[in-house]
């Protein structure tokens, strides 16, 4: 399916280079330029334009509109930056944090990195609980870099290990143009369910035109192994699970 329309308001040129490209990587630039050509994007974005934040907002707004349309029988709570203790599976962490804050020893030994706030959360009411259940935690990363990969993996581990109750969907949404960088988070031991690309059809077409053999093989691997999928697939999964 084509990229969601909110992407047209985020993609753009900065200094003559697509804002999803790594200016130090010619292959990244070539692929991003082709994606822009396919989508007909020619606009220039301001130097201080925050594409990462815009992606979070775009994903949040899109899910908030589409999930009730696909399943109107559930009350969908889609928001940005909700701390995990707002959700039923992680309420116990608030009690733990009270103990940690009051004890210098516990602060040193345990730390407080369990208090994470995913970029976008999808909550659902739970009978008998004042807090919604966390249905999905979505990490939105405009592009993929090594530090962002570590952050994504850390959040996934915390969400899995500290939950009490059902496992939420833990996913990443990105616009990264290089399959070899997508592989850095899509491959692995399951810290995330899968990676969803907001312009997968356009990326696939661009790789077919300007991608080298390595990028083509990696993209095929990730898609075939169901580690990389189209963003629209995420909406369907969340609405039917």
CATH of the domain at 78: 3.40.50.10010
What does the alpha-carbon distance between residue 204 and residue 178 come to, in Å, rounded to a whole number?
Answer: 11
Q: What's the token pair of residue 208?
A: 């077919």
Residue 110 lies in a domain: yes
pLDDT at 158 over 80: yes
pTM, whole model, 2 decimals? 0.94
What is the length of the chain? 241
* In-domain check, residue 11: no
- Sheet architecture: strand order including 77-80: 77-80, 120-124, 133-141, 169-174, 194-197, 228-230
Residue 90 maps to a domain:
yes
230/212 Cα distance (integer angstroms)? 21
- Decide if 119 is inside a domain: yes
Question: Which two three-digit tokens encode residue 36?
Answer: 């822009």
**Do the domain assignments include residue 34?**
no
Give the residue among 52, 54, 15, 39 at the shortest CA–CA distance from 151. Answer: 52
Closest CA to 84 of 44, 132, 30: 132
**Is 185 domain-assigned?**
yes
In a domain, 78, yes or no: yes
Distances (CA, A) of 217 to 30, 122, 150, 227: 17, 33, 24, 14
Nearest to 137 by CA among 111, 163, 112, 113: 163
Q: Which domain holds residue 194?
A: 51-202+212-240
Pairing of strands 17-18, 120-124: unpaired
pLDDT digits (tens, 9 = 90+) for 101-144: 666 766 655 666 678 999 999 999 988 888 999 999 999 999 99
Over residues 40-93, the pLDDT tens digits come to 999 999 999 999 999 999 999 999 999 999 999 999 999 999 999 999 999 999
The domain tally of the chain equals 1
Identify whether 229 is part of a domain.
Answer: yes
DSSP-derived pairing of the beta strands 17-18 and 77-80: unpaired
Q: Is the pLDDT of residue 3 over 60?
A: yes
């Amino acid at each position: 399916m084509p990229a969601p329309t909110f992407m047209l308001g985020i993609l753009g040129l900065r200094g003559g280079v697509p804002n999803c490209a790594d200016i130090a990587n010619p292959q990244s630039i070539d692929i991003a330029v082709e994606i822009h050509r396919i989508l007909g994007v020619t606009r220039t974005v301001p130097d201080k334009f925050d594409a990462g934040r815009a992606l979070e907002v775009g994903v949040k707004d899109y899910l908030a509109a589409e999930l009730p349309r696909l399943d109107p029988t559930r009350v969908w709570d889609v928001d940005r930056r909700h701390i995990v203790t707002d959700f039923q599976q992680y309420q116990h962490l608030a009690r733990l944090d009270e103990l940690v804050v009051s004890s210098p020893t516990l602060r040193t030994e345990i730390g407080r990195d369990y208090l994470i706030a995913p970029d976008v959360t999808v909550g659902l009411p739970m009978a008998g609980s004042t807090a919604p259940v966390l249905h999905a935690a979505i990490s939105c990363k405009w592009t993929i870099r090594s530090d962002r990969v570590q952050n994504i993996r850390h959040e996934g581990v915390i969400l899995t290990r500290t939950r009490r109750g059902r496992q939420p969907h833990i996913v990443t949404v990105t616009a990264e143009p290089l399959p070899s960088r997508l592989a850095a988070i899509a491959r692995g031991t399951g810290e995330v369910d899968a990676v969803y690309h907001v312009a997968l059809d356009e990326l696939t077409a661009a790789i077919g035109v300007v991608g080298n053999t390595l990028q083509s093989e990696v993209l095929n691997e990730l898609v075939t192994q169901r580690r990389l999928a189209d963003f629209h697939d995420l909406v369907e999964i969340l609405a039917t699970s």
